[in-house]
A and B are shown apart, each in its own frame.
Chain A
Amino acid sequence: MIHLADITRIFQMGDQSVYALNKVRLNIAVGEYVSIMGPSGSGKSTLLNIIGLLDQPDKGCYELDGKNVTDLTKDEQAQTRRDKIGFVFQSFHLIPRLTAAENIEIPLILSEIPPDERKSRVVEALHAFDLQSRAQHRPAELSGGQRQRVAIARATILRPKAILADEPTGNLDHSIGAEVMMLLEALCQTGTTLIVVTHDRELSARAKRHIGMRDGKIVTDTS
């Protein structure tokens, strides 16, 4: 599903070149549940951005879902992100002026699905994440757990192949974080690839496969 071959990403810091990723090789199969751990600056977020096509490697080759996506144009990247990848962020990134239902609807709007179908799919998603009573609330009126559920509903509404979660429980307290993780894991069990970036050992331990990173390299990879 995901094949990274010798991926290198270099950032310029003043006149110094910093290797955020240094010849990273990684293969992830369909339906895998992977956690990526590592200290700050180890390159784990950069790796997630490259997998999510938000960033492009300076060297190397990236194959997603059987297709080489290394040299896509920005618009092709955007389209691939829309159709194949769902993002879940630590700070939820909901649009404050839109209601929960409208936030969930955005990916459907971007892929130009007709309004009738949009409506029924949003209702379905609200059901699946137990948000029916919150549909018309704005993010500011929702609890942290509810906000992250809205974000997950938005990430999954187009049924992506992979969900990329960057510290998904970082802003939630422990029990609510566990609930959110169970939702993500349930999605993984239905065949969606789940990649979680975290600092949290306990959270990382839930995954089937654990990748450790340091200085832009994968240092451990255990199942």
Chain B
Amino acid sequence: MTLNDTLLLSFRAVTSYRARSLLIILAMALGVAAVVMLTALGDGARRYVVNQFSSIGTNLIAVMPGRAETSGAFLGTTMGRTPRDLTLKDAQLIGRLPQVKRYAPLNVGVAELSAEKRLRDVTVLGSTADLIPIRHMNLAQGSFLAHDSDHSAQIILGAKLAHEFFPASNAIGQRIRLDESRFLVTGILAPQGESMGYNTDEIVIIPIDYAQSLFNTTSLFRILIEARSHSDIQSAKTAIHDTLKQSHDGEEDVTIITQDAVLNTFDRILHALTLAVAGIAAISLAVAGILIMNVMLVAISQRTPEIGLLKAIGANAADIRRLFFAEALWLSLAGTVIGFFLGQFGSLLLRLAYPQLPAWAPTWAILAGIIVALVTGILASLLPSSRAARLDPVKALGKK
């Protein structure tokens, strides 16, 4: 029998037993769709987190006081000393390094913002003008510490705060109090919403000097650094480490983390999660495969007289084997194709329901899903088709 005829005849069998075929195809399709949709969800979550994390800056390095030890005793406690402060001088030293494009010292605290009988507690960031570009923040209006006005009492308001305190008039140029100090509003942040844990619409930014006196500290909370390029990150990290060690009398009492490393960690964890989810979904493909085997075995016992007849009129074992094999192949192929589209449609619905989530199934997952489905279908049809091929024609014909 030619390949063409084998495919045609087996296709006829698939379309003739409609209910049976539809049920198997559905089982296979759901398996493939599950792989596509769940990996779309997993990978969407990964991309969401990575995007969020990338949006806070480019080539970022953060320096924080104290050393995070992963083994052994904490240095400060054994020596009876607390870690050395991170100071503005340290920040300036870092700023001179050739790999550093710009840097921003940072202090964070809470203070009471008040103007015209309104008051509320706000998160205060104390920093320099470079904080805005480093953190990829945008000013909707005005400027921050422009033209060497580093030491003037300027304040930037988050979009929501500006609207709350000055609903009727433009906030720029207005005076506002932060605890006991008076500030001039020179800029308003563009609305940005939640990002990495806090809402930039409800913060204020003031110069670092004012923040340090407001919170009565000389120690910095962080130094944020932007490296010149992605390839400079590692050498910048080493240079910062050496500089601070030198300036802290040889003590390694700071922790330096790179955005890159954190990003990679997130990426790895969420990728592993996607893989795990894909694996779970693939179990449903194995179940569909067993279903195909089951149904094909039933089909063979139902069609035993037909197999006997085919053998009597001259079909050889290979013809019969190929016929049933092709039949199972059609079923798994149809299930796979339908499942693929079903999964893509499901992912589209996910994207429509959660626009922030880029729920696209990764290509590897789609390919793996399709290949696993087809291989399962093929494996599942080997046993039934070879059983059909082995049937004894006399017995097969005699069976009613």
Contact = CB atoms under 8 A, between A and B. Distances in A.
B312 A81 contact: yes
Interface string A63-81: 0000000000011001101
Interface string B10-22: 0011001100000
Nearest to A114: B2
Given A81-B314, A95-B309, A107-B313, A112 B13 contact: no
Nearest to B4: A115
Given A95-B306, A98-B12, A112-B2, A74 B316 contact: yes
Given A79-B314, A81-B313, A82-B313, A109 B5 contact: yes
Contact of A107 (B13, B314, B318): B314
Given A49-B394, A55-B394, A109-B9, A87 B313 contact: yes
A111 interface: yes
Interface string B302-341: 0001101111111111110000000000000000000000
Contact of A78 (B9, B12, B13, B314): B314
A112 B315 CA distance: 11
A95 B310 CA distance: 9
Contacts of B314: 78-79, 81-83, 107, 110-111
Interface residues of A, number: 27
B313 A52 contact: no
B393 interface: yes
A220 to B, nearest CB: 26
B140 interface: no
A3 interface: no
B310 A106 contact: yes
B303 to A, nearest CB: 9
B317 A54 contact: no
A75 B311 CA distance: 10
A154 B9 contact: no
Contacts of B317: 74-75, 78
Contacts of A74: 316-317
A89 interface: yes
Interface string B378-400: 00000000000000011001001
A208 interface: no
B306 A54 contact: no
Nearest to A86: B313
Contact of B397 (A79, A86, A93, A106): A93
A78 B315 contact: yes
B5 A52 contact: no
A93 B305 CA distance: 7
Nearest to A80: B314
A55 B392 CA distance: 9
Contacts of B310: 106, 110
Nearest to B6: A109
A83 B315 CA distance: 11
B12 A97 contact: yes
Nearest to B312: A87
Contacts of A107: 313-314
B285 to A, nearest CB: 29
Interface of A: 49, 52, 54-55, 74-75, 78-79, 81-83, 86-87, 89, 91, 93, 95, 97-98, 106-107, 109-112, 154-155
The 9 closest A-B pairs by CB, nearest first: A82-B314, A97-B16, A78-B316, A93-B309, A75-B316, A109-B5, A81-B314, A54-B393, A110-B314
Interface of B: 1-2, 5, 9, 12-13, 16-17, 305-306, 308-319, 393-394, 397, 400
11 contacts: A75-B317, A78-B314, A78-B316, A81-B313, A82-B313, A82-B314, A86-B313, A109-B2, A109-B5, A110-B310, A110-B315
Given A86-B313, A107-B314, 10 more contacts: A54-B312, A54-B393, A74-B316, A75-B318, A79-B314, A79-B316, A82-B314, A93-B309, A110-B313, A110-B314
